[in-house]
Chain A
Amino acid sequence: MDSGFYAACTGLLAKTDALDLTAGNMANLSTTGYKAQTEFYSSLEASMGNRRLSPLNQAVNDYGVLGGAAVDMRTGEFQKTGNDLDLAVEGAGFFVVQTKAGVRYTRNGNFHTDAAGRLLTPTGDQVLGEQGPVQLPSGAITISPDGTISQQGAVVAQLKLVTFKPGTALAAEGNSYYQAPDKSELPADDPRVSQGMLERSNLDPVSATIGLITIQRQAQLLEQALSIFHSVFNSAPGQELSRVS
């Protein structure tokens, strides 16, 4: 009986974490280039040794915990801004950014230049091209879908666009940056960069709201279960035992 109590307790904790995750997604409904985080659950094996458990024992003792959050890589909607240095990537592909802490990846193409013509992210880090940091000449520039930056027909630089093998664990860092494991980046095979566009958050508010309701109701169920366990605990020694004598 008490293992069920702890299972419900673990489940309730997992649901509160899931609520925090959903809150993070909802708050970023308007964040440029934001990728929603989707939670997944995994079961915690109760049996630590190699001892085999009966199916019933296993069902009762495998607690559901929040296993992790995967980044939803679907492309968000594009919004036209008309600014030449606003870039959006269609399909898979990340811009590569050199930060003080190392190379980071972003889908937020809300770039600008500084006085020296260096191409920078909103946070002020340099955007990398195939030949190092991108340096732009003054004047209007054109960026073609494959990431080639040109001015009046002359090629100035080539934006570096990368993708990752499916299943690569990308770690979100804030400021629209992602960190990837070393040497996991692959050149994007068919990048399509749109100039004068920004990618909106890819969170689907409908499924997020439904997720929110689900989390809330599941938490209520678990709380109900905990309450039932509790009243059973209370009644068992007090009432049942006294009848035996």
Chain B
Amino acid sequence: MFRALYTAASGMLAQQLDLDTIANNLANASTVGFRETRLQFQDLVYQEMVVPGSAATQQTTVSAGLQIGLGTRAASSEVLQLQGEYDNTGNSLDLAIQGAGFFQVKLTNGEIAYTRAGSFQLDQSGNVVTANGNPLEPAIAIPTAATAISVGTDGTVTVTMPGQTSALQVGVIQLATFPNPGGLLSNGSGLFTQTTASGDPIVGTPGGSEGLGTLQQGMLEDSNVNVVDEFIQMIVTQRAYESNSKVVQAADQMLQDVNNMSH
């Protein structure tokens, strides 16, 4: 019965962590390029009371053992890579990826981070940067005199210069994807970095055979958090927490009853 108390406590802790994750997802329901996180749980060790397949008599063995599970633990937080909805903004540097790819941006420490948030801007020297000022990798500079910027679905960036009729190509946006995008590390600000679990990035131009997807200019990808799903998940979490607290109550009650037995 004391086992039940600790087992239920592990269940309650797991549901608390799950609720924390749901809270973060809901808080970011309007964050451009946000990716929903979902906790994955695993069962803890089992206490063997009767080993399955052990001898019941000289001729027979028990068909199923008696193993008492000792609870659960949060094993990993997985980043869900489902597509978010698109928002038409009309800004020429707002880019949405239709497919599995990520934009590559250079952090101040020189490392490459990956993001789905395509709300780009220009810095004072005309470089295309994220809302936080991290430049795109490979860098793309827009001439200050440019009157219009156009980004093709294949990532080709062209500008129109005053007094010229033909467009001038200034660069090509490259995208990256991962063998296991669920294993990426969330760094905040919509940025992800690679881990051994995610694998090495596969870099290419949009629209290629790598499954990176194509670019849509003038669009932004909303958060992929589905508020209805989160609410349902929240109800499930709350009820699971309650179920575990019922186990604590039952164990407590049974112990109390034993203590109150007349003697």
> Which A residues contact B (CB, under 8 angstroms)?
12, 15-17, 19-32, 34, 37, 40, 66-71, 80-86, 108, 110-115, 117, 122-123, 136, 138-141, 152, 167, 169-176, 181, 198, 205, 208-209, 212-213, 215-216, 219-220, 223, 226-227, 230-231
Contacts and interface: CB of A to CB of B under 8 A. Distances in A.
Contacts of B40: 32, 110, 122, 198
B258 A26 contact: no
B50 interface: yes
Contacts, number: 245
Interface in B14-32: 14-15, 18
A24 to B, nearest CB: 3
A31 B76 contact: no
Contacts of A117: 179, 199
A223 B250 contact: no
A129 B50 CA distance: 32
B70 interface: yes
Contact of B41 (A12, A22, A32, A213): A32
A80 B7 contact: no
Interface residues of B, number: 78
Contacts of B18: 30
A26 to B, nearest CB: 5
Contacts of A226: 261
A114 B15 contact: no
Contact of B63 (A123, A136, A169): A169
B51 interface: yes
B60 interface: no
A112 B75 contact: no
Chain A, interface SS category: mixed
A85 B43 CA distance: 21
17 contacts: A23-B5, A23-B247, A30-B237, A37-B67, A68-B52, A68-B62, A70-B63, A70-B64, A81-B81, A83-B80, A83-B81, A85-B180, A140-B210, A169-B65, A172-B69, A205-B243, A212-B250
Nearest to B10: A27
B46 A28 contact: no
Nearest to B212: A140
A136 B179 contact: yes
